[in-house]
Amino acid sequence: MAWKDGWAEARAWLHIKEDLYLYRRAKVRTFRFDCGLGPTELAEDVAVADIGIDLRRYLLGEAVLKRRRQLADMLDKVRARAADRVFLHAR
């Protein structure tokens, strides 16, 4: 999503087991110039790459998993913000 405040934001999540997920949020500043990759797409790529980093951390035994309820709460906040029409566009 590209927000009116000049930031683009994306989220990524990966179901691991039962009600446990990896979840990452990436936020990048939009500088309003074109380089072939828009800020929303860049934020999406960063969020997915961060999931890969957390997957490695999980496999090494670090506590990086989120419960389904935590994931739902975080996504509900995004939906509420979008409902307030403070974003420019969503893919």
pLDDT per position as a tens digit, 1-35 = 666 667 888 999 999 999 999 999 998 887 776 67
pLDDT per position as a tens digit, 71-87 = 999 888 888 877 665 55
Q: For residue 53, is pLDDT > 60?
A: yes
Task: Give the number of other Cβ atoms within 10 Å of residue 52's Cβ.
Answer: 13
Secondary structure letter of residue 29 according to DSSP = E
46-52: average pLDDT: 96
Q: Where are the beta strands (DSSP E) in 1-91?
A: 2-3, 7-17, 20-29, 66-67, 87-89
Q: Where are the domains of the chain?
A: 2-89
